[in-house]
């Protein structure tokens, strides 16, 4: 397994991998790999001729006051996991190789970046779109794998790659959950035992919403209110609960087709997100 730390060296290697081991797959990560990441990497290594995993905690996507400095970093364990899974290359650039002095180019998807997390995390999706474009440009993959856990990110990156003619297939991968339903996230490491127990309410509230739709409820307002109530009863502070159209992220008032329900909530100081697909033809 190669480990590469600059865009220039990555691109040079990527040109060869793309040509000789097509299709080339990329799994972009911020490290602190958990079973969610492992499922993406597993899919990339099994579907592609070669897989690149990028590990980069991207300062541009953290707003002021967020957890850039404390974000979990488990670099050596991440490398070992990638090696065991047969990854061809880990791309782990330093921040000053990605954003050298005078850096001043930004990619924006204003419509899809505005609602949900975009309304709360100033500049977050500009940072995400920019770094993903840079990773795609350096790694030259045919396919890139993104988890549905960061649903808004997935939708926005898919739009960006289509709009900019990047010719990369964005492959969405299902959320990986703990036995109690909790979505895996590197930020779960922030939770105390008590918080971890309360955090279960987030996925539970989403599964309850799905059941309500299966039982015939169609009004978003009612489903959202029930979800907010459940979260507050569990002692979490709700950031948002919304039901949106899956591709445009526009709010849905009445559930007539597939919709995505998305939640952001604080458990103690830790902000967690989760989401679920709602379908009116779900069976009760």
Residue 171, CB-side half-sphere exposure with 13 Å CA sphere: 19
CA pair distance 50, 147, nearest whole angstrom: 19
Q: Would you give the end-to-end CA distance of the chain in angstroms?
A: 48
Q: Note whether 11 binds a second copy by CB under 8 A.
A: yes
Minimal distance, residue 151 CB to a second copy, in Å: 17
Query: Which residues are the active-site residues?
Result: 37
Minimal distance, residue 246 CB to a second copy, in Å: 14
Residues 120-179 that bind a second copy (CB under 8 A): 129-130, 133-134, 137-138, 159-160, 163-167
CA pair distance 30, 187, nearest whole angstrom: 11
User: ω before 23 within 30° of 0 (cis)?
Assistant: yes
Angle at 177 between CA 171 and CA 180, to 5 degrees: 165
- Looking up tokens 């730390």 gives 5
CA pair distance 26, 170, nearest whole angstrom: 10
- Count the residues of the shown chain that bind a second copy, applying the rule CB under 8 A: 29
Between the alpha carbon of residue 72 and those of residues 58, 120, 251, the distances in Å are: 13, 22, 33
Which residue, 164 or 214, is less far from a second copy as judged by CB? 164
CA pair distance 261, 48, nearest whole angstrom: 32
Minimal distance, residue 136 CB to a second copy, in Å: 9
Which residue, 138 or 209, is less far from a second copy as judged by CB? 138
Minimal distance, residue 261 CB to a second copy, in Å: 23
Minimal distance, residue 128 CB to a second copy, in Å: 12
Residues 236-255 that bind a second copy (CB under 8 A): 248
Which residue, 101 or 216, is less far from a second copy as judged by CB? 101
Minimal distance, residue 242 CB to a second copy, in Å: 19
Which residue, 152 or 236, is less far from a second copy as judged by CB? 152
Binding residue for a second copy, selected from 2, 3, 5, 19, defined by CB under 8 A: 19
Burial of 221 (0-12, 13-18, 19+ CB in 10 A): exposed
Which residue, 9 or 187, is less far from a second copy as judged by CB? 9
Between the alpha carbon of residue 105 and those of residues 10, 46, 55, 126, 152, the distances in Å are: 20, 35, 21, 10, 22
Short-list 186, 189, 196, 252, CA closest to 219 = 252
Which residue, 13 or 231, is less far from a second copy as judged by CB? 13
Instruction: Indicate the Cα dihedral angle 37, 131, 250, 178, nearest 10°.
Output: 10
Q: Note whether 8 binds a second copy by CB under 8 A.
A: yes
Q: Note whether 281 binds a second copy by CB under 8 A.
A: no
Residues 89-108 that bind a second copy (CB under 8 A): 102-108
Which residues contact a second copy by CB under 8 A? 7-8, 11, 19, 102-112, 129-130, 133-134, 137-138, 159-160, 163-167, 248
């Amino acid at each position: 397994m190669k480990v590469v730390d600059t865009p220039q060296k990555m691109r040079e290697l990527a040109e060869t991998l793309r040509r000789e081991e097509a299709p080339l797959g990329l799994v972009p990560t911020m490290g602190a790999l958990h079973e969610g990441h492992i499922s993406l990497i597993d899919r990339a290594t099994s579907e592609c001729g070669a897989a690149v995993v990028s590990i980069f905690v991207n300062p541009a996507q953290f707003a002021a006051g967020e957890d850039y400095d404390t974000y979990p970093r488990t670099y050596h364990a991440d490398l070992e996991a990638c090696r065991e899974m047969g990854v061809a290359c880990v791309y782990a650039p330093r921040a000053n190789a990605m954003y050298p002095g005078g850096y001043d180019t930004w990619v924006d998807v204003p419509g899809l970046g505005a609602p949900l997390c975009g309304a709360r995390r100033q500049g977050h999706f500009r940072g995400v779109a920019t770094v993903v474009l840079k990773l795609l440009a350096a790694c030259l993959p045919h396919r890139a794998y993104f988890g549905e856990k960061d649903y808004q990110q997935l939708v926005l990156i898919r739009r960006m790659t289509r709009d900019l003619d990047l010719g990369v297939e964005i492959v969405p991968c299902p959320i990986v959950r703990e036995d109690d339903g909790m979505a895996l996230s590197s930020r779960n490491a922030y939770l105390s035992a008590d918080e971890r127990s309360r955090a279960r309410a987030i996925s539970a509230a989403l599964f309850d919403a799905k059941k309500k739709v299966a039982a015939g409820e169609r009004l978003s307002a009612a489903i959202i209110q029930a979800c907010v109530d459940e979260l507050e009863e569990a002692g979490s502070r709700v950031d948002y609960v919304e039901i949106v159209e899956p591709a445009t992220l526009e709010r849905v008032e009445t559930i007539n087709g597939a919709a995505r329900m998305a939640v952001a909530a604080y458990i103690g100081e830790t902000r967690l997100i989760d989401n679920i697909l709602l379908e009116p033809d779900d069976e009760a």
